[in-house]
Amino acid sequence: MSTQKKDLLTLFDYSTEQIREIIKLAAEIKAKRYSNEYSKLLDKKTGVLIFEKPSLRTRITFETAIHELGGHVINLASEAVGIGTRESIEDVARNLERVVHLIVYRTFGHDKIERLARSSSIPVINALTDTHHPCQALAFGLTVTEARGDVKQNVVFVGDGNNVCNSIMVICAKLGHNFTFAGPKGYEPKKEMIERCKEICAQSGGSISVTNDLYKAAAKAEVFYTDVWASMGQESEAQERKAIFADYQVNSALIAAASKDVLVSHCLPALRGEEITSEVLDSSNSVAFEEAENRLHVQKAAIVHLFS
């Protein structure tokens, strides 16, 4: 197995400089989307997408990214593959590496993608696990940079300490932003995730804080980020969580408590009227749909990085 092979499993594996380079490259690729500069990168190469969770943005942006980089895409239905059931993760990896050139995997337990990457000599990209969503965080990084430049921001994540929260916290730590989690007691990010990000902040100049007091956090907010209260796989908890998270909605009252030009983003899909109101999601403060588009550009940049 080549020692040169690179993966994108979590942003913990990337230095601040590498993350900045990917964001800078993504901005350049976005500006030159219809030029031919990167259109042959994946010429005669095939990327395979294996998605065990539903997807709109991740699937369509990866398909488009691979196509526009000159490659071919195969969508493998997860039930047809049966990773870990019909066939071992390691055997799937050993078969795919002999035929295709890139694996994009969206799954539940993060250990599954780690095993796939360890067993594969070709790059593996995390298209979301229960623990990390690095491509979403890179899109957030590009979106904030476009709106504010390379300037430290006070980022407040509102809601559940889930996979998206983890990855937004990691990129904030890496880029030196001040990150605050504001959500109900018992739903904070895991302690080891927080401690690891605090260690990064000691080098980057950022900060990590956790509070259950949303409006206290809002007072200094320059960016709000939110996500659904019940993630994929937690549907049975949805009604219970709706009551627990009711006071952690991103609405016009929260926007009024922050700086006038506060940015608001969401990884989407949004449950309008629950974690965020339509009034806010469709407002001039919202950059959620810009971030959704930026998934395409950062994923292209990530693929360029992996094949460089």
- Structural domain including 67 reads 11-132+295-307
132 belongs to the catalytic site? no
57 lies in the same domain as 118:
yes
143 lies in the same domain as 251:
yes
33 belongs to the catalytic site? no
In a domain, 6, yes or no: no
pLDDT at 3 > cutoff 70: no
130 belongs to the catalytic site? no
263 lies in the same domain as 141:
yes
136 belongs to the catalytic site? yes
Per-residue H/E/C for the chain: CCCCCCCECCHHHCCHHHHHHHHHHHHHHHHCCCCCCCCCCCCCCEEEEEECCCCCHHHHHHHHHHHHCCCEEEEEEHHHHCECCCECHHHHHHHHCCCCCEEEEECCCHHHHHHHHHCCCCCEEECCCCCCCHHHHHHHHHHHHHHHCCCCCEEEEECCCCHHHHHHHHHHHHHCCEEEEECCCCCCCCHHHHHHHHHHHHHHCCEEEEECCHHHHHCCCCEEEECCCCCCCCHHHHHHHHHHCCCCCECHHHHHHCCCCCEEEECCCCCECCCECHHHHCCCCECHHHHHHHHHHHHHHHHHHHHC
In a domain, 3, yes or no: no
160 belongs to the catalytic site? no
The CATH number of residue 54's host domain is: 3.40.50.1370
123 lies in the same domain as 140:
no
In a domain, 33, yes or no: yes
152 lies in the same domain as 272:
yes
Q: Could you report the per-residue pLDDT of 209-250, keeping only the tens digit for each?
A: 999 999 999 999 999 999 999 876 777 788 899 999 999 999
Among 165, 197, 201, 267, which one carries the catalytic annotation?
267
User: What pTM does this model have?
Assistant: 0.96
The count of structural domains within the chain is: 2
Q: Could you report the per-residue pLDDT of 33-76, keeping only the tens digit for each?
A: 999 899 999 999 999 999 999 999 999 999 999 999 999 999 99
258 lies in the same domain as 161:
yes
151 lies in the same domain as 286:
yes
113 lies in the same domain as 162:
no
141 lies in the same domain as 194:
yes
270 lies in the same domain as 196:
yes
16 lies in the same domain as 145:
no
